[in-house]
Structure formats: structure tokens, C-alpha cells
Amino acid sequence: MTTEIDRQWTTRLRKTVVEKLPPEKLLPDTQPAYVASWIYVFGVTTLAALAIVIATGCVLAMKGPLWWHLSSTGHFVNSLHLWSVEIFFFAMVIHLWGKYFMAAWRGGRQLTWVTGVVLFLTSIGAGFTGYVSQTNYDSQWISTQAKDGINATGGGAFFNVLNLGQMLMWHIVLLPLAAVALTAVHVIYVRIKGVVPPFEEEK
């Protein structure tokens, strides 16, 4: 017999979470032996680079969009932001191809794969809006070039790459929020499902 307490949304949510993701799965202390491969470094590296991208972006945000043109400290923080982004993409692309060649969607891990692809697209959007929000010649050139591609899809009616205010908001609010939320979902899926086992080979 279910009681009133059992039927509460809160109770049900807690039970589902604890059942799907008990603490031993969220923070496991062992991993299957096959996890001893260099390929697993790239997922963590992507995650670490994302953290540095966000941290350096936050420093740039504190001083506003023009600071880095005017101060050598600002320019250095901008360099940190740029290079952490390059590391982020480098690691993510190897991660992506690694997961492809492992067919890491097997065993009910399709959503991990799909959130990964969406993360890839979100990151490209974040990188692009970053480039056009730099308020320098690169952003002028990239935005005036890119407008034709986006306009050709009809997207230009809603997403005006020449509108700095709009691009900056996407770059520092909307896309980072999406990237962080999706990353959380992505990694939680991995923890729920565990790391995908290797293909079995016939002897």
C-alpha cells in the first residue's frame, strides 16, 4: 500500500535519483580494468578545459568587453581564454572520434552520444559568438563574412551576427548556460550507465 508520503513528488524524485544514481555510481572508487586507456584522458581534459574557459571568461566579464584592448593584464587574460578554448576543442574532437571508434553508444548509451553531439554544436556556437564579440578587426571581418551563411538559412532574421549586444549575450549567458547544463547531463549519463565495455571478440 502506498502512503501519502510515497506519492509526494519530492519523495518520488528522491527515490528515482537514489535508485538510478546511488552515491557509489556517482562517485565510484573502482572502474573496470579496460578503463586503463589513454582515450579516457580526453573526456576529463575537455571537462577541465571547459572549467578554465569559464573561469577566464568570468574574469573578462568582470571588467567588461573593452578591458582587454586597453590593459596588458586584460590582454593576458584574453590569451588564457583563447588558449583554453583551443585546448578544449582539441580534446573534445579527439574525445568525439575516440567515442565513435569505441561505438560508445552501445548498451543504452545513445543519449550520452546525442548530448555529446549537441555539446559539440553548442561549443561551436559559443566559439563563434566569442569571435564576433571581440570588438576588434577579427570580429568585424568574421561577422560580415558569416552573415551570408546565416542569412541564407533564414536564421539571420532572428540571429543578427552584426548586433554586438545580441552576440555578446549569447556568448556570455545563453550558450555557456546551455553548455554547462548539457555537460552535467552528459557526465551524469556516463555515471548512471557506467563506462561502455569493449567489443567481445570471437575466439
Partner 1 sequence: MTKKVFNPDVDAPVFKGKYAPYDIIKEGTIAVVVVALLTVVLAVLFSSPDEKAVTIKSWSNATPMDFVATAITELDGTSGTATYGPPYNNAATGQQIGPFTLAKWMGINVKVNTASDFVVAPLSTLADQPALKTALTAFTSASSTQKASWEANYSKALTTGRFSSGTLQVPATNAGPVPVMMSALTAMARSGALDQALVTAKGFYTTDYTKPLLFMADGSFLANKAQAQHLSGDQWGMMNETGSYPGQAWLWLYTMWYQVPPFSTSWGANADALVWAFMMILTLLLALMPWIPGLRSIPRKVKVYRLIWREHYKSV
- Binding-site partner at residue 187 among ligand HEM, partner 1, none, CB < 5 to 8 Å by type: ligand HEM
Query: What is the binding site for ligand HEM (CB under 6 A)?
Result: 40, 43-44, 46-47, 50, 92, 95-96, 99, 104-105, 109, 112-113, 116-117, 119-120, 123, 183, 186-187, 190, 195-196
Q: Which residues contact 49 (CB under 8 A, 6 or more apart)?
A: 84, 85, 87, 88, 91
Instruction: Give the one residue of 13, 16, 71, 141 binding partner 1; rule: CB under 8 A.
Output: 141
Cell numbers 561551436 correspond to: 124
Using alpha carbons, list the distances in angstroms from residue 76 to 64, 70, 134, 161. Answer: 15, 11, 14, 26
Cell numbers 596588458 correspond to: 72
**What is the sign of the dihedral through the CA atoms of 159, 49, 62 and 72?**
negative
Task: In angstroms, give the least distance from the CB of 186 to ligand HEM.
Answer: 5
Query: Applying CB under 8 A, what is the total number of residues that bind partner 1?
Result: 91
With binding defined as CB under 8 A, does residue 98 bind partner 1?
yes
- Binding-site partner at residue 95 among ligand HEM, partner 1, none, CB < 5 to 8 Å by type: ligand HEM
